[in-house]
Each structure stands twice: as structure tokens, then as C-alpha cells.
Amino acid sequence: MHLRYRLAIGVVCLLILSGICVHYGSANDENWPHPTGDQLQKQGPGAFVGERILLFGEVRSVDDDADVITIHVLDDSNDVAAELEVHGFELRVEPGGVVQVYGVLESEAVIEADQTVVVNRDPSTTAYKLGTSLVGLLLAVGYFLRTWHVNVRELAFEPRASVPERNAEYEEGPRSG
């Protein structure tokens, strides 16, 4: 395939992907069935009392004896949209962690949790997740580039010449000299 066709196909794919991302970003808030932090900020939690809602929040305090945590729900500008007590929270989490809570908003300040998920147990978990992902990415790229090389002129990946030799040596065993 000619270089010009590869570039054209790549540009078309990137334009389609960009269009999908822009559409998702613009339509997500209107189609999301639960209140967002911005909606809580604008309408107040009282507008959603008695409804089943799904919220993401940063843990501010934990009361293990009563199975209660206090979370801050943030809006798009990272301002606190609501401070809520979550009752029925039985998972281990530290202040500064992030949780998902699905349940009924009992009052403007209390949500009775049906399901909870700990996204990050504490602030250091984010660094661990990112570091582990980076190590995995580097290993995958290293393995890929060990067996393939990039032909920049043709915008193509080509197998390295030594791969069949390595496979033959593996199947036959080490050569004796």
C-alpha cells in the first residue's frame, strides 16, 4: 500500500475518533440518568431526595463503628457541590480516597447506600495505579519493538530479520559448536 493511502486512512480514522469523542463529551451530561456534580450544585441535593442516584465522591471522614462515611461530591470545576453522609458503607477506605455510591438520597445530606465501590482506597493508590500502568506499557512496547521495527518511510511495522532464527533455535535447542 502506498504511503499516501496509509496517511489518508490514518487521518480519516483520527477524524472519526475525534468526532466520536466530541459527541460523547457534549451529549454525556444530558443522557446520564443520575445527577452530576454540576446538577447538584445548580439545583441542590433537595431536588433529588427520594431518588436512586449514583455519585462519585472524595472521602472526607470515616466512622467505622457506625458504617458511615462523609463524602464531597465535586462539580466540573472541582468545587464541592454537595457534602453527603453515606450510611451502610462497609468497605475499607481512608480519607482522601474516592468512592462510588449507588443508593437512595434520604435527605439533602444523607444517602443510604445499596452498592458501593472503592475507586481509590487512599490518595497514594492513584500513584500506584499510574506507575503500574506505565511499567506494563513499557514492557509491552519493549516486547513489541524487540520483534518488530518501524519503517518510517512506508509507515509500516516489519518483523525483525532475527525472529525466525530465534524461533528455530528455540525449537532445535542450543547449537553445539
Predicted pLDDT of residue 12: 96
Domain boundary assignment for the chain: 1-31, 37-121, 126-172
Q: What is the pTM of this model?
A: 0.64
Q: What is the grid cell recorded at 152?
A: 518510517
Cα-trace Rg, the chain? 26
Q: How far apart are CA 69 and CA 50, in angstroms?
A: 20
3-state class of 116 per DSSP? strand
Average pLDDT across each block of 10 residues of the chain; the chain has 177 residues. List them in order. 85 96 83 84 90 92 88 90 91 90 93 91 86 96 91 86 60 60
Q: What is the grid cell recorded at 18?
A: 475525534
Domain 37-121 grouped into CATH 2.40.50.140: yes
